[in-house]
Amino acid sequence: MDLVFLAVKSTQLEAATPWLTALCRPGTVVCVLQNGVNQEASVAPYVPGSPVVPAVVWFPAQAQPDGSVLLRGDAHLTLPDVPASGMVLEALRGTWCSVDVAADFTSVAWRKLMQNAVAGLMVLAGRRSGMFSRDDIAQLSLNYLRECLGVARAENAVLGDEVPREILDYFQANPADAGTSILYDREMGHPLEWIIRNDVIRQRGRSHGISTPISDVVVPLLAAGSDGPG
């Protein structure tokens, strides 16, 4: 193939390896539609010689019991400003999924990671977006997001002090029954993407000498909820 979209969860990457081997050759552009900021590093070993294009995915979709998918907002991708992104732009031109290219992709990716990280609190509470209307959860979320912001800036993301409040506002404006993919995985008993959504912040914080006390609590609880035992 000239272009491959890799849209499995990070926990399913190993299982997708035979597909990548069959579909890719040197030069195949692989667009990674996954969470996190490690997309290139995690996928590149499986597709030697293929350009890997990371994507920030804005796709608020929820699978329904009848097999349909409920899309709660517009489908949108943000790509880095690299030559291989041009093939993705051309492939999706005129479709329901809009695409833009960001000169500062690092900042966009880390902002989305912050949003994904705080969504993990829904897993621990077993609740959907309505929980963010609680004053105690709102304050916890802001504290967690500010912790994440410190790590993001150390990773060269250019994000202002207002970003944690904006992300919280986003969750508070959601319908009370709106969920997130990591919550749906927990409800279905699937492995959770706790490493790429939450632990990466703790690990990058350690590498920069940044204290992450909230991550130090959230990550083990998500890991146990995903992997057990018990």
Catalytically annotated residues: 112
Cβ of 156: how many Cβ atoms within 10 Å?
Answer: 10
**Rg of the chain in Å (alpha carbons):** 18
Q: Which residues contact 86 (CB under 8 A, 6 or more apart)?
A: none
155 by DSSP, 3-state: which? coil
Greatest C-alpha distance within the chain: 52
Q: How far apart are CA 45 and CA 75, in angstroms?
A: 29
Structure tokens at 115: 């949003």
